[in-house]
Amino acid sequence: MVPLSSRCQKLLERARSSPGGLRFTELVRLAECYGFERRRQRGSHLVLAAPGGRRPLVVQDVKGSAKPYQVKQLLEAIEHTEAD
């Protein structure tokens, strides 16, 4: 079994190299690796609360895939989290 930290690192690398190729479940798992918490879900929209009280991220499940622009938004939020 792969340790969580390396699993998260692999997901981060996949998201950076191919934002359009990430599944929705992988996007949520990556967000949780970096401290985002599920707040609520209504239909296909899931609200993820950002660590440190930052602006929440709303992601949408489209037939099991994540939207590329939402992956990029998460990557930007992760970069801001790592910079702090």
- Going along the chain from its start, the domains and CATH numbers come out as 4-83 (3.30.920.30)
Output the pTM of the full model: 0.86
pLDDT digits (tens, 9 = 90+) for 33-66: 999 999 998 888 999 998 887 889 999 999 999 9
pLDDT-wise least confident of 33-37, 65-69, 78-82: 78-82
3-state secondary structure of 66: strand
In this predicted structure, what is the pLDDT of residue 11?
A: 94
Q: Which residues contact 73 (CB under 8 A, 6 or more apart)?
A: 57
- Using alpha carbons, select from 19, 30, 32 the residue that is nearest to residue 66: 19
In this predicted structure, what is the pLDDT of residue 9?
A: 93
Q: How far apart are CA 20 and CA 36, in angstroms?
A: 21
